[in-house]
Structure 1
Amino acid sequence: MDDGLYIVTSPEFIEAILHDRNDLFLKSGSPENRDMVSFPSSVMNSSGDDWAFKRKAMQPDFSLRQVSSALQSTFALTESHLAQWQTGPTSRDIRPLLQQLCFDVGCQFLLNMALDREDRAAFIALSEAIILKTRDPVRLPFNLFDRTASRLKTARESAKTVAQAALARAGQQQARGRAAELGMSFVNRASLEDAEWLCDEFCAMVLSGLEPMSAALAWALHLLTSHPEVLNRVTAEADLLSGVEWATGGGSVNLDAFPQARAALMEALRLFPPAWLTGRNVARDTTLGNFDLAAGSAVMISPWINHRNARFFEEPDRFRPERWLDGTLQQHLPRYAFFPFGGGIRRCIGEHFSLLHMTLILVCILRRFILEPPSKTRAKAYPALVLRPLNVKLALMPRVFAGETMGGTDECSFSRQSRTMVETI
């Protein structure tokens, strides 16, 4: 059989591919293709023993305890950003605002420091260049000028310069005896010979927060404002958080304290998973079920397709967050019917971080603003490296809650009891 391209939708086959222990299915986008891999030394673009070493070094930094301990910083950053968002009847695209917020949240978690506006702009420019390149169907001959490739190269170099400077400042903090205050422990203990990896890793992780997290939050807000009855339920839950004990011992967070917000996020991730497509290359002739796969074939896996399969989800194209509320759906779903964070040993290391921090950001937004979409919402999906939402426009009107205006203040917008709750994390 000739090599070819195959779309795999069976949860059983997807599990066999993602849990491959025999190196039959190799990650697509190898470092040899430098035009498409911006940071080849990062974990997501590494393989074999090199990948295993780096993943093990990073794993403790993304434990539930570690990512929960960063929620207070995320809360403060979110409130600071929201206080600067322009309110009024004019609709504006919410995604760029969320991009900036998610970038700052990622930098704070990774290095316990904020980067300035110009540094943030360098990474946003890189994100745009990557998105354009992954959508570019043209592969020009070597001797012809490729505008998108040139733009990507320039943006990548600028972002790496920013990253190297940020890591140098982190090293200076460490030299001054402030290592315990830094975010990522793998940075603290890294040697100089790890400089290329650390730079690539920082860039890849910041982009992983900036683009997928902002996309997921924008889709969630779009879906909520398109379904006012669901929006009312999630907002009411946010307003009642003062009476909820959501911080537990040891700094971990009980997501059950946000059932409506969490369910809305899960449903947004089901309908519009940012990581909507991934692939593997077949290393050797093999079989998958009753199918023969030749070496060199490509197998593609799309959470977007599986998440909308009527075999697993009733009314699969409808936004129904309540399907996630009682836990029965999760108990009966096949393992790879719903997998917004991938799977296998390469499952997204930032899953806990993303879910917890996106939930908190969503709650903060809904407590501060009344969200009003235009009379005709024309949001569109732009499938590239992530499933980016386009034209999610909302008017942000300040809310009045518990006797105070929620917008236009630099103070924490939670009620006094909620403020105390967050400070306990």
Structure 2
Amino acid sequence: METSTAPTQPVPLHPGLPFLGNTLAFLRNPLGTLDTLQRNHDRLVHLRIGGRHQYLVLQPEDAKHILQENHRNYGRSPAFDILKIFLGNGLLTSDGDFWRRQRRLAQPAFHRQKLAALTQTMISETADWIDELSGHNLKEPVNVSQAFMDVTMRIVCKTLFGSDTNGKLDGLSNALDTLNYLANNRMLSPLRFPYSWPTPNNQRSKRARMQVDSFIFGLIDERRKALDERDDLLGMLLSAEDEETGERMSNQQLRDESVTIFSAGHETTAVSMAWTIHLLTKHPDVLARLKAESQSVLGDARTPPPEAFRALTYTMQVVQESLRLYPPAWIMSRRAHQNDHVGPYTIPAGDTALVCPYLLHRDPANWPNPDRFDPERFAPGGLKDRLHSYAYLPFGGGPRLCIGNQFALMEMQILLALFVRRFTPKAAGNQRIVPKPLITLRPNQAIRAVLE
């Protein structure tokens, strides 16, 4: 941790309203406000939001300083207390020594060789979904946002829980959707009643959490009694041992990590896929090249072998460029434990540093024509390879880099390749799709497309 007392310059303060500071601007138009901040400031800008002092980082090297080089000086911000209500104390929301222990325990389940065993499940579930989608009335526009929610739920359930969950998934999915919706509302609301108060939303949240807990604790109990090891993610977490102590996860820890994996693997991947299809409907040249690669590399096999997907280089470029424009984790917040110096400035102890992938990904100093969809940026030896490593961070960075990043990339590549091999998506009417920054960066409405 940095504790130097060297004199520093005051961080430029972005003007706001008396008492309210910048709160209303962020409530009304968070992305527009961020764009303004990027145009008017160079490195760091001091904001007052919700009665708290926050410092927005605008340069990749400073993002790296906070997320990696001096990460021990930063813990989870108060915003994560809201997520804990429904995710529990999993990898996304935990901190300190507990987080480090959980990360050590969970990491082996996400090693490449372990994920390779799950690839066939992803391919089979996607192929089944494609066949079902083909049976619909494709003369009418398809809600691709919901369609990808459906298939990613199937994939994460099979890869996380195995086949034990047949016929039980709708209740779990609905309960988690309810918790996600209520967490978004609470995050955006300037008036938050204590969780212990019996408000209608608090009561809904508690009922949904009880439903999630009943399902997952019951599943964990069944698996412990079965005493057989399985290759799904829950099986790997059940058998994981701390290298230093030999301890395994408790039932509560297993529950919290399972809910975290389910939520992240389901919702964020589906949202990213819907954004990708939206972009393809506006760029037929990219779509044509993508289809040609998929058909050439994968051939006619209903479920191509996992190794075939590794050759889909342009498909991965499309995925990466979509994640640049619409990163699901669009902003990250960290609370400073001690004063930290960022160049000539100080982030005071107790205040919050903000790292915004949405802004870093659209900085014209690094990304020419930043709003243009151009997968060639990610071609081997292309622009991305010449930029600072923290100019692009759709999965965060440093020790807290998303543990499921390779899982998500692999899933998106499979989904996209098999989808465009069968379908040509076309824009449905005159939908005005714009980003809606909630916990994740969602579209403002369901994305629909005509599938030929």
Counterpart among 159, 162, 171 of residue 118 in structure 1: 171
Letter in structure 1 aligned against 2:60: P
Provide the secondary structure at the position in 2 that maps to 1:179: coil
Query: 5+ unaligned residues in a row in structure 2: which ranges?
Result: 1-9, 11-45, 47-51, 242-246
**Which residue of structure 2 lines up, in the alignment, with residue 162 of structure 1?**
215
Distance 1:35 1:220, change over 3 A: closer
Kept in 2: contact 1:132–1:148 (CA 8 A): no
Deviation of 1:373 after TM superposition, in Å, equals 1.8
Kept in 1: contact 2:82–2:183 (CA 8 A): no
Distance in 2 (alpha carbons) for counterparts of 1:169 and 1:96: 31
Deviation of 1:4 after TM superposition, in Å, equals 1.6
Distance in 2 (alpha carbons) for counterparts of 1:396 and 1:62: 34
Provide the secondary structure at the position in 1 that maps to 2:287: helix
Distance 1:312 1:105, change over 3 A: same
Distance in 2 (alpha carbons) for counterparts of 1:35 and 1:185: 25
Q: Deviations over 1:117-170 (max 9, x none)?
A: 333333333333333333333224789764444333332222222222222333
Distance in 2 (alpha carbons) for counterparts of 1:219 and 1:126: 23
Distance 1:196 1:143, change over 3 A: closer
Correspondences of 1:304-323 after superposition (within 5 Å): 304-323=358-377
Distance 1:283 1:254, change over 3 A: farther
Correspondence 1:38 to 2:86: yes
Correspondence 1:93 to 2:148: no
Distance in 2 (alpha carbons) for counterparts of 1:57 and 1:142: 31
Instruction: Using the TM superposition, name which of 38-47 and 209-218 deviates more.
Output: 38-47
Provide the secondary structure at the position in 2 that maps to 1:4: strand
Letter in structure 2 aligned against 1:161: S
When normalised by structure 1's length, the TM-score is: 0.84
Letter in structure 2 aligned against 1:57: L
Correspondence 1:221 to 2:272: no
Correspondence 1:396 to 2:451: yes
Correspondence 1:353 to 2:404: no
Aligned residues: 388
Correspondence 1:379 to 2:433: yes
Instruction: Using the TM superposition, name which of 144-153 and 282-291 deviates more.
Output: 144-153
C-alpha root-mean-square deviation of aligned residues, in Å? Answer: 2.7
Letter in structure 2 aligned against 1:394: A
Distance 1:381 1:146, change over 3 A: farther
**Which residue of structure 2 lines up, in the alignment, with residue 288 of structure 1?**
342
Q: Deviations over 1:17-76 (max 9, x none)?
A: 001457322122477x35754233212222222111111111111111211221111111
Instruction: Using the TM superposition, name which of 209-218 and 178-187 deviates more.
Output: 178-187
Distance in 1 (alpha carbons) for counterparts of 2:61 and 2:309: 29
Counterpart among 317, 335, 359 of residue 263 in structure 1: 317
Distance 1:222 1:333, change over 3 A: same
Distance 1:195 1:371, change over 3 A: same
Deviation of 1:103 after TM superposition, in Å, equals 1.7
Distance in 1 (alpha carbons) for counterparts of 2:117 and 2:373: 32
**Which residue of structure 2 lines up, in the alignment, with residue 413 of structure 1?**
none
**Which residue of structure 1 lines up, in the alignment, with residue 33 of structure 2?**
none
Deviation of 1:322 after TM superposition, in Å, equals 1.7
Kept in 1: contact 2:65–2:71 (CA 8 A): no
Correspondence 1:80 to 2:135: no
Distance in 2 (alpha carbons) for counterparts of 1:265 and 1:302: 19
Q: Which has the higher contact order (CA 8 A, sep 6+)?
A: 1
Distance 1:181 1:142, change over 3 A: closer
Distance in 1 (alpha carbons) for counterparts of 2:280 and 2:412: 15
Distance in 2 (alpha carbons) for counterparts of 1:325 and 1:269: 15
Counterpart among 346, 371, 381 of residue 327 in structure 1: 381
Correspondence 1:61 to 2:109: yes
Distance in 2 (alpha carbons) for counterparts of 1:143 and 1:167: 28
Distance in 2 (alpha carbons) for counterparts of 1:106 and 1:334: 33
Deviation of 1:102 after TM superposition, in Å, equals 1.1
Distance 1:185 1:308, change over 3 A: same
Correspondence 1:188 to 2:244: no
Deviation of 1:278 after TM superposition, in Å, equals 0.6
Q: Deviations over 1:160-183 (max 9, x none)?
A: 2222222233334x42xx314443
Letter in structure 2 aligned against 1:10: Q
Q: Deviations over 1:384-421 (max 9, x none)?
A: 11001233111233xxxxxxxxxxxxxxxxxxxxxxxx
When normalised by structure 2's length, the TM-score is: 0.79
Distance 1:115 1:297, change over 3 A: farther
Correspondence 1:135 to 2:218: no
Kept in 2: contact 1:219–1:268 (CA 8 A): yes
**Which residue of structure 1 lines up, in the alignment, with residue 333 of structure 2?**
279
Letter in structure 2 aligned against 1:169: E
Deviation of 1:91 after TM superposition, in Å, equals 1.4
**Which residue of structure 1 lines up, in the alignment, with residue 66 of structure 2?**
17
Deviation of 1:253 after TM superposition, in Å, equals 4.9
